[in-house]
Structure 1
């Protein structure tokens, strides 16, 4: 993934994690932008620190997206108590057989 794509994805995930959806005044967003500006290079230059910064950005991106997915799954499936057989079959993706009478 290119550095620009990682940066955009990171900012998107921060926006998703923000309670009001605005990251304009977020310290995390400012820090990430400052780090990307610090290691900004051209295609002609080889910068090991930039590669490490991109890798670190990808790691944070994976963490943020995994955390968001976990919270969505937790809200969906936690705290419902005992489920009926039909609800359990729907969650797993099975269909119950019909009872012709």
Structure 2
């Protein structure tokens, strides 16, 4: 799964394709409108999910808004990185990072 760890993001997002692949139950939310890297582009979502996955000895629980279109399968925002400081350490010390996460999140 292609994941972006974004310490500047106030929330987390999951691509709608992953919701289907992982067979996750979605929850309705009030409309959440946000802007990405390009200030003129904005999106709105009304769905969210909660998922838990292992990374080494951690069980990471993420509440994420569901998006139809994004470059990554998942974006993990600052609240999760703050809640699980060891996660960032694991990511930064793995070589290569992509291989570690590919194996850990299968």
Q: TM-score range by the shorter chain?
A: under 0.3
Normalised by the length of structure 2, the TM-score is 0.22
Structure with the bigger RCO (C-alpha within 8 Å, sep 6+) is 2
Structure number with higher helix proportion: 1
Normalised by the length of structure 1, the TM-score is 0.23
